[in-house]
């Protein structure tokens, strides 16, 4: 019986991994915008793989604001919540409040059920860059990365790579610093994030969600950091909407 | 706008906390058996609060077996998976295979939607013990516990306390060592876990799921450690069923 | 009884927090100049909240000089000591010596009794910056910050923000680096601290205590770092006086 | 000027240290019961020195309950709060609520102003035990202790030694384990703490505050751990009262 | 090309792992005695898998004595060195000296070329114990174990389990402590290691290399720790010979 | 007997060290290209010493790709594998797959047997640079380096120094930054590594393997980092061939 | 010139090491009593090697009392100070005060000049025990021990082994726990140290300095811990005298 | 008796500290050149205080080369060794070899006996800089610095400050970076150290030993780093001679 269980797990995992060595969309980081993008892309029939450093997807949403485990979104993203069957309470003035544990687990559960595959405890450590196009991600067990062990990574090739790492914008940083790519911002370079101004941040987050160069896309907070907008604060509507927006852009590009 | 968001989060959280200072069932640890128990108890109308050290509930299930992110259950727990809308693949010989990320997020999402409240990043550090009855749990931010800061805890009183911490059996240990309680095992004391023998482990896990003393219940792996059965291995059916079993026992006791 | 105690604490804290989501003056760091400023501002009827990383306010004063727990001030700040009922011993040549434990606890005790609210174990991690004005602080449990957990912060809005972090000048740094603000120094930028020269340092600390840009004020050591003066050494009179001076400036601006 | 400041600090500290090499009462740990005892003993004219590991006295009170910075006491200790000019809010049912920062800083400030000397960042690492009597404490910089450096300690001799370390009961442990002393408990040995039961804990804390053997006294939580009573929870009245009680006992013994 | 390389690695590893879920002999720890046993067993046609915590097999031999990278064996194990083509220098009195890097790499290289499979960076964390027989090992990535992550292990079943962990005797310890097995020593229990006495140690190491209970074997230093013999010192002949001896014993038992 | 063993080890090591204080070629880092170079150079009769930080040579090859312990090379390096008796499996399309443990141990074993001396657990911390020529390496126990102890190093002089440290290019960095050497690249300076593009990386790795300045050579990944080529990915053929190539270049220069 | 320097150091060290593989007296720990014993034994013509974990000998004396860098001895050990040319200041009542830096460096300097060899940064990790006699020490670089590396030790054989490790009594502990030796104390076992009582401690330290079993001697604080006397406090006369006493005992035994 | 010992230590230290609040020469770092300078300056009647981070002075000399505890000097510094009574062995070609433990302890012992005062476990964290002259050092317990505690330093004023910190040149760095001082090097700034070239390094170390600006002097390795010379290697003659040279320069300036 022990051997049967182990064989079932090993075979199930290796089939999943072999099936995802080449995907339509590789997403680095399973935060809210990446999960919404994955949900929409998988629903549209694309092969989507998410690589997430932590064991649990959900990004920075589990802890709500300052560990007070509620999150807030504005009414313009209620359709996304309804699509994912996540419940909310009206907070007046166009705001709704959501239990942050329901929010994070719901985003994750629905993305996987839609067909996206999440490889957790896996880090994206570099990008593949062929003929001036971002063509995949270089991955490693996060455990190996954290322990600083000298072990080579593997490669996932993809038609589109989405930077869903949020604040650190890790993938865009790699593209700019290692590949010398000029990205689609005012300066052609990463512009950094301003202090907090929620209204301005919410707006610019969605606005700056776009393709940055051939093969590379950014959504959610990342777009903000990259394009130099204001910080958004503990409100997640902009991220949900930027996830949905980037999914539309990628779907169009992959046609 | 910043103030509105903060106020919504703070008020939402404090209402949730004040509402749960006294509950029907306090569960320490949000692993699979605790989440199933919480789901069933909340569905039955009980007020249930789970306290979980990590930011993300799900216990040891996120990483599947050895980070190969699949888990296995046997056919006898398929009704629980169906109740929670978690999908599975047939693996032959009475086994099914489940994506571990879907498993962990689904258990969490469904427990919360059923009405259970999860306080994440919160540790249970002691029990309340009045007149020979376990009457609640003593809680602290896990961050404070991890940093070894000298800060007093708070108290949640409960009609029933469920030890869902799995292997370490933390709550039962506290009851035996600090309160000197004689528990319902062969020796009246914690008997420790044997090496791995899956068949025997699966069976005894469910069998030993029971009330250990007035006010204190154990389910899942914890029952195993406490009662001296064999270790179960990377198969979660026993835990799901022990969660459902303990929920029935508690419901009967609370009538 | 356990429930009553917990409810009293939770409700008391919640009321205090909700009452301070918008304040007249938000002070980052509870060192001596910040505490004196808070004392004076609260005495003048302003709503003042201090956010302090450590559990205990008092900044670098508890340890005296090199853990020899005495501190020194000059005679020109004796009126402040007298206002706060802190005792001192004459040391000749215009200096007085104070037990550093009495100094730190007295500054804290008197500021709170004057009406200032201190949120301890809370870090200021960013500023709110709207329409070219510093309009608040972004806060997080220090425990979460120290453990590097991925959790969103909350926001406190304020009419005036006082950087009381001393040497690191954290808030002014954020303003200059993230918001690109030009501050009121010789160069418009942070000028750094020179080596130690006590006479010169004492003088320039008070002199450079001022409003640096709309909404942002600096006092005590911070002003020194920012304006490029000499380091002051283990003498706290300049800090006390700069606290009193900045309180006057803020009071005038808030009229 | 730099030399004058340094000389003032060094001379002030060394006078304080030399004056306290032999004291009436040496207290290990500056928590609430130790500070109240120090206040009462100093007011009664005794020479009292407190040795505290942290830079800031106040013990576990700064963080209130779970960092919600309020503490609770019952009405029977209001006279102590009034003696120390600490303000409180009525919480109904015989409870009052106190800002924990005011509580900790007030206890410290008033103890020092009453004449007690606090040596902060100093650890008690052993006791002096001559002719079956506890006759002093062995001290070391806490920094040296934390870094595990191989440096010899110094000695403070005292007519009475009060263990104010709370939960860990460090001094009583040393007395029992290293000196083999039989203490005044039911078993003559340390009996450990039970789980939480506030009513019972509050009562037994005060009851068990006593002389444990010639020269050694325990107050506050320590008495509880030593005598095997229930844990008290986040309520500090018992500690205040045990501080006042032990002061009376010591005063009588020192006559 | 990136995808081809990744696919080749993943498929090669997956085949190797699936092929070794059930083996004839599972060896915990790739030190010199385990590697010699693996070499002999594989040469004899048995399916052998070694699980080694480090990335590099070789155990404690790489560093020679005190990082002076030479090792010593006596003439009675020269046939093993010759079988593995490891070169040596005569040191007189029946001793030979070997470059420790050649020794460790040669033992590893020859064991693998003989057909043994080494799973490196994999820890054995428990044993499988069915019907009073040691029937396999429970394995986990060492990275996961080192980081203390909460992830379930997998299982390798085996006809024979060889404890090759040397000094710590990890597997025998598990058998005795968790399974309560009575082993074949003078006391039936682990007897511990004596101080160093090389002659006595060398002799008893080989002598005590044996089957300890059904399914469980020990070789090299482990046998020594278990049976209470003297410590051997920095000489590896006894380990080589104990590896060869245990291979013979296992081969006989597996017939 | 204990003394004889210790004396044999100490004398064996001391002779090896004294014999290698001046060598033909000093290699920093025992990765695959350095080991192949050492093998070829030693076969050609040169005195070669390798200094390796880890206890086990083999560089990043032990863990295969992402701990899946297989490595891949292309058919053009099969002659090197055959020279070293390392076995491989055909993977189609011109690729072969090799067990990574056999690969790493075989490269090490064969290099030592060819006559190269490996000093393991020894770091190269600086270079010797006399009259514009790299003339040796400065070495220290890696243990001392890791613990940050203040201990002076020793010096090995060499006719040629080969940087085999791979990605970090430590030796070339020292040459450029501390000695201000202009190296043989397009810019005369270190140009950094691009993202991953395997075909391009494999080619440029071999191409850029060359003498960088008098006395200093680079092979394997280092040449890549230094010359600004694309990253190679988890394929080791280029490294093997660059090792062989640099050996030829050095042999020619040393004539 | 670099090669000459390195060769001189390597040859000098290896000659010293080879010369000391067998010694008359091996001392573990270079504290004050060990250094005095080494001084006297070397003066008497014995071959003495000291093994010390730290880079700098001197034990706990460098920091004086609580980093106040003075130490105290009583008049009865002035002859030892005079023998070693260490200066002192009269402190009245039969006490003298010594600069602790002069004390530690002088003890070390004079022991080495008398002919004792100190191997610093070397740990004693076990003893050699042949035919019921302690016959040597097992040594390892302290760096290797601290990093927990898996590297074998070497052996120094000796006619007498002196435990000079002070408080931890490491060597005596090994003898009792690993070799099961019955030592010359009241109980035949280690009896532990009592709290501080200087007079009693000073006396018993010297009194209990003796041979504990064949081949094993203890001096200084170690004798105290082993025999159950009182702790001595920050006074070093007893240690100096116990060093001189044990030297006499060993000299007599070695005749 | 305990009180007498403590009082003697405290008074002895206090007198030493008060006596050295203003000195002729303050030396940061007790390496070989600083100790020789201190020896010569104290012999010439100057008041000299050395501040050293470690408990034991001696700098990097204790470990010899790579823990092989011998050091080398050339014949031109034999007079210094003879002055300090440090013994040496002739190594041919004008080199002598010295036991590194004797070297480090002898340098320290002789400097203190000459009258220099060493404050060990004390860090220099800043300089005093008045009217364009380096006028003292800012000191703190090293323990406080290492633990990152927020505690103010004290000040030692001096007629001359000597940077004896060796490689890091900490004091010169402070002078250049914080005070903006232009120092007496080719560029007026710190020029960094070149790789190792012993002949050139030895020569330039002595040559560059000089006054760098009013009040600030550098000797030993520091001069090398500052002036951009070659690194010296594990030979200490240059340092000894630079210590003697700078003593002469300072003596002349102080006249």
Reduced to 3 states, what is the DSSP secondary structure of residue D123? strand
Contact criterion met (CB < 8 Å) for F178 and H193:
yes
8 Å CB contact between F124 and F138 = yes
Query: Residue F182 and residue G200: Cα distance in Å, rounded?
Result: 72
**pLDDT of residue C78 exceeding 90:** yes
**Count of C-beta atoms within a 10 Å radius of residue A170:** 20
Percentage of residues in chain E having pLDDT higher than 70: 99
What residues of chain F lie within 8 A of the CB of E57, using their CB? Answer: 101, 105
Name all chains with 3 or more CB-CB pairs below 8 Å to chain A: B, C, E, F
pLDDT band at D150 (very low <50, low <70, confident <90, very high): very high
**pLDDT of residue B51 exceeding 90:** yes
Q: Which of A62-66, C14-18, D220-224 is least confident?
A: D220-224
pLDDT band at A222 (very low <50, low <70, confident <90, very high): confident
**pLDDT of residue D141 exceeding 90:** yes
**pLDDT of residue A198 exceeding 80:** no
Contact criterion met (CB < 8 Å) for A3 and E55:
no
Cα angle for residues F103, F104, F109 (degrees, 5° grid)? 100
Summary mean pLDDT of chain A: 93
Give the per-residue pLDDT at F33.
95
The DSSP bridge pattern shows strands E117-120 and E48-52 to be parallel
Angle between helices C32-43 and C100-113 (to 10 degrees): 30
Distance (Å) from the C-alpha of residue H252 to the closest C-alpha of chain G?
28
Q: How many residues does chain C have?
A: 255
What residues of chain D lie within 8 A of the CB of G234, using their CB? Answer: 152-155
Who's near B85: CB < 8 A, 6+ residues apart?
A113, B106, B110
Interface test with D, best of G196, G199, G221 (most D CBs within 10 A): G196
Contact criterion met (CB < 8 Å) for G198 and H1:
yes
Give the per-residue pLDDT at E199.
77
Give the per-residue pLDDT at B160.
98
Give the distance, in angstroms, between the CA of residue F201 and the centroid of all CA atoms in the same chain: 18
**pLDDT of residue D249 exceeding 80:** yes
Who's near E103: CB < 8 A, 6+ residues apart?
E32, E58, E61, E71, E86, E236
pLDDT band at G7 (very low <50, low <70, confident <90, very high): very high
Nearest to F110 by CA among F23, F26, F50, F171: F50
Average pLDDT over residues B175-199: 87
Task: Render pLDDT for F216-228 as a digit per residue (tens, 0 to 9).
Answer: 999 987 888 888 8
Does this complex have an ipTM over 0.85?
yes
Q: How many interface pairs between E and F have CB atoms less than 8 angstroms apart?
A: 169
Task: Render pLDDT for G26-49 as a digit per residue (tens, 0 to 9).
Answer: 999 999 999 999 999 999 999 999
**pLDDT of residue C188 exceeding 80:** yes
H227: exposed, middle or buried (Cβ count in 10 Å: 0-12, 13-18, 19+): buried
B165-200: b or e for each residue (b if 16 or more CB lie within 10 Å)? bbbebbbbbbbbebbebebebeeeebbebbbbbbeb
Q: Which residue would you say has higher pLDDT here, G200 or A53? A: A53
DSSP C196: B
Contact criterion met (CB < 8 Å) for B139 and D59:
no
Q: How many interface pairs between F and H have CB atoms less than 8 angstroms apart?
A: 66
**pLDDT of residue A36 exceeding 90:** yes
Reduced to 3 states, what is the DSSP secondary structure of residue H161? strand
Distance (Å) from the C-alpha of residue D6 to the closest C-alpha of chain H?
6
Q: Among the residues of chain D, which ranges form H helices?
A: 2-19, 32-43, 78-83, 100-113, 142-146, 170-177, 198-207, 221-227, 237-254
What residues of chain D lie within 8 A of the CB of G61, using their CB? Answer: 152
What residues of chain E lie within 8 A of the CB of A17, using their CB? Answer: 10
Contact criterion met (CB < 8 Å) for C10 and B21:
yes
Give the per-residue pLDDT at A10.
97
Interface test with H, best of F51, F145, F152, F154 (most H CBs within 10 A): F152
H7 phi, psi to nearest 5 deg: -60, -40
DSSP E253: H
Task: Render pLDDT for G184-193 as a digit per residue (tens, 0 to 9).
Answer: 998 999 988 8
8 Å CB contact between A89 and A96 = yes
- DSSP secondary structure string, F52-118? ESSSS--GGGTTTBTTB-EEEEEGGGHHHHHHTT---EEEETTEEEEEHHHHHHHHHHHHHHTT-EE
Domains of chain F, start order: 2-59+100-254 (3.50.50.60)
Distance (Å) from the C-alpha of residue C188 to the closest C-alpha of chain D?
31
Average pLDDT over residues B220-246: 85
Q: How many interface pairs between D and H have CB atoms less than 8 angstroms apart?
A: 71
Task: Render pLDDT for A38-48 as a digit per residue (tens, 0 to 9).
Answer: 999 999 999 99
- DSSP secondary structure string, H22-89? EEEEEEE--SHHHHHHHHHHHHTT--EEEEESSSS--GGGTTTBTTB-EEEEEGGGHHHHHHTT---E
**pLDDT of residue E218 exceeding 90:** yes
8 Å CB contact between B224 and B235 = no
Name the residue facing B3 among C121, C141, C157 (closest C-beta): C157
Summary mean pLDDT of chain H: 93
Q: What is the 3-state secondary structure (H, E, C) of C151-162?
A: CECEEEEEEEEE
Residues facing H28 on adjacent strands: H51, H163
Question: F46 vs A210, F30, F41, F115, F159, CA distance in Å?
Answer: 58, 17, 6, 9, 11
Structure-block tokens of residue C238: 């300049």
pLDDT band at F202 (very low <50, low <70, confident <90, very high): confident
Q: How many interface pairs between E and G have CB atoms less than 8 angstroms apart?
A: 68
8 Å CB contact between G214 and G134 = yes
Start-to-end C-alpha separation, chain C: 47
Give the distance, in angstroms, between the CA of residue B81 and the centroid of all CA atoms in the same chain: 17
Give the per-residue pLDDT at B87.
97
Average pLDDT over residues B134-153: 96
Contact criterion met (CB < 8 Å) for C5 and D72:
yes
pLDDT band at A135 (very low <50, low <70, confident <90, very high): very high
| Four-residue CA torsion sign, C227, C229, C231, C232 | negative
**pLDDT of residue D38 exceeding 90:** yes
Who's near E147: CB < 8 A, 6+ residues apart?
A143, A146, A147
Nearest to H70 by CA among G112, D232, A5, E183: G112
pLDDT band at C69 (very low <50, low <70, confident <90, very high): very high
Q: Which residue on chain A is closest to C136 by alpha carbon?
A: A196
Given a cut of 50, the residues of chain H with pLDDT beneath it are: none
pLDDT band at G220 (very low <50, low <70, confident <90, very high): confident
Task: Render pLDDT for C33-55 as a digit per residue (tens, 0 to 9).
Answer: 999 999 999 999 999 999 999 99
Query: Residue C8 and residue C17: Cα distance in Å, rounded?
Result: 14
pLDDT band at D107 (very low <50, low <70, confident <90, very high): very high
Residues facing D98 on adjacent strands: D71
Residues facing F216 on adjacent strands: F161, F213
Distance (Å) from the C-alpha of residue E193 to the closest C-alpha of chain G?
7
Are chains G and A touching, using the cut-off of 8 Å on CB pairs and a minimum of 3 such pairs?
no
Task: Render pLDDT for D57-90 as a digit per residue (tens, 0 to 9).
Answer: 999 999 999 999 999 998 889 999 999 999 999 9
Give the per-residue pLDDT at A193.
84
8 Å CB contact between C141 and A67 = yes
Summary mean pLDDT of chain E: 93
8 Å CB contact between B37 and B84 = no
Contact criterion met (CB < 8 Å) for A2 and E149:
no
Task: Render pLDDT for F171-196 as a digit per residue (tens, 0 to 9).
Answer: 999 999 888 889 999 899 998 888 88
8 Å CB contact between H254 and H160 = yes
Q: Which of B61-65, B124-128, G11-15, G205-209 is least confident?
A: G205-209
Give the per-residue pLDDT at B228.
84
Average pLDDT over residues C148-169: 94
**pLDDT of residue D169 exceeding 80:** yes
Q: How many residues does chain A have?
A: 255
Contact criterion met (CB < 8 Å) for A147 and E144:
no
Name the residue facing F8 among E69, E91, E117 (closest C-beta): E91
Highest mean pLDDT among C175-184, F136-145, H189-198: F136-145
Are chains C and A touching, using the cut-off of 8 Å on CB pairs and a minimum of 3 such pairs?
yes
Give the per-residue pLDDT at B83.
97
Name the residue facing H3 among D6, D146, D155 (closest C-beta): D155
Task: Render pLDDT for H84-129 as a digit per residue (tens, 0 to 9).
Answer: 999 999 999 999 999 999 999 999 999 999 999 999 999 999 999 9
Question: H44 vs E131, H163, H253, CA distance in Å?
Answer: 86, 20, 13
What residues of chain H lie within 8 A of the CB of C65, using their CB? Answer: 152-154
8 Å CB contact between F72 and E8 = yes
What residues of chain B lie within 8 A of the CB of E126, using their CB? Answer: 195-196, 231
Average pLDDT over residues C84-93: 96
Is this model's pTM higher than 0.90 or not?
A: yes
pLDDT band at F133 (very low <50, low <70, confident <90, very high): very high
The DSSP bridge pattern shows strands G22-28 and G154-163 to be parallel
Q: Which residue would you say has higher pLDDT here, E222 or G121? A: G121
Query: Residue F162 and residue F25: Cα distance in Å, rounded?
Result: 7
The DSSP bridge pattern shows strands B122-130 and B133-141 to be antiparallel
Structure-block tokens of residue E211: 């089957």
Task: Render pLDDT for E246-255 as a digit per residue (tens, 0 to 9).
Answer: 999 999 999 8
Q: Characterise G225 by phi-psi region: left (phi > 0), alpha (psi -120 to 50), beta (else).
A: alpha
Contact criterion met (CB < 8 Å) for D67 and C234:
no
Query: Residue A216 and residue A211: Cα distance in Å, rounded?
Result: 6
Q: Which residue on chain E is closest to B58 by alpha carbon?
A: E150
Query: Residue A100 and residue A84: Cα distance in Å, rounded?
Result: 14
Name all chains with 3 or more CB-CB pairs below 8 Å to chain E: A, B, F, G
Q: Which residue on chain C is closest to D96 by alpha carbon?
A: C8
Contact criterion met (CB < 8 Å) for G63 and D152:
yes
Task: Render pLDDT for G57-105 as a digit per residue (tens, 0 to 9).
Answer: 999 999 999 999 999 998 989 999 999 999 999 999 999 999 999 999 9
Nearest to E127 by CA among E19, E27, E47, E8: E27
Contact criterion met (CB < 8 Å) for A139 and F60:
no
Name the residue facing H9 among G57, G68, G104 (closest C-beta): G68
Nearest to F171 by CA among F145, F147, F200, F139: F139
8 Å CB contact between E218 and E209 = yes
Interface of B with C (CB under 8 A): 2-3, 5-7, 9-11, 14, 17-18, 21-22, 55, 121, 128, 136, 141, 143-144, 146-147, 149-151, 154-157
Q: Which residue would you say has higher pLDDT here, D159 or F204? A: D159
Name all chains with 3 or more CB-CB pairs below 8 Å to chain C: A, B, D, H
Name all chains with 3 or more CB-CB pairs below 8 Å to chain F: A, E, G, H
């Amino acid at each position: 019986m022990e051997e049967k269980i182990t064989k079932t797990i090993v075979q199930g995992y290796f089939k999943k991994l072999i099936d995802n060595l080449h995907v339509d969309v590789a997403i680095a980081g399973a935060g809210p915008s990446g999960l919404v993008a994955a949900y929409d892309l998988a629903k549209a029939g694309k092969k989507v793989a998410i690589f997430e450093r932590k064991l649990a997807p959900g990004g920075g949403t589990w802890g709500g604001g300052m560990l007070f485990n509620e999150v807030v979104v504005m009414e313009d993203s209620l359709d996304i919540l309804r699509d994912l069957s996540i419940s909310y309470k009206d907070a007046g003035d166009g705001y709704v409040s959501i239990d942050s544990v329901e929010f994070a687990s719901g985003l994750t559960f629905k993305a996987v059920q839609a067909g996206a595959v999440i490889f957790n405890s896996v880090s994206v450590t570099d990008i593949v860059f062929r003929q001036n196009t971002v063509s995949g991600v270089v991955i490693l067990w996060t455990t190996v990365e954290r322990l600083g062990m000298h072990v080579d990574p593997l490669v996932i090739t993809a038609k589109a790579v989405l930077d869903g790492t949020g604040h650190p914008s890790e993938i865009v940083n790699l593209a700019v610093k290692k590949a010398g790519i000029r990205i689609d911002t005012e300066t052609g370079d990463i512009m950094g994030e301003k202090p907090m101004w929620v209204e301005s941040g919410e707006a610019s987050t969605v606005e700056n969600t776009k393709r940055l160069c051939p093969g590379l896309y950014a959504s959610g907070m990342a777009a903000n950091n990259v394009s130099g907008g204001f910080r958004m604060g503990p409100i997640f509507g902009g991220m949900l909407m930027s996830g949905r927006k980037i999914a539309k852009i990628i779907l169009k590009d992959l046609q």
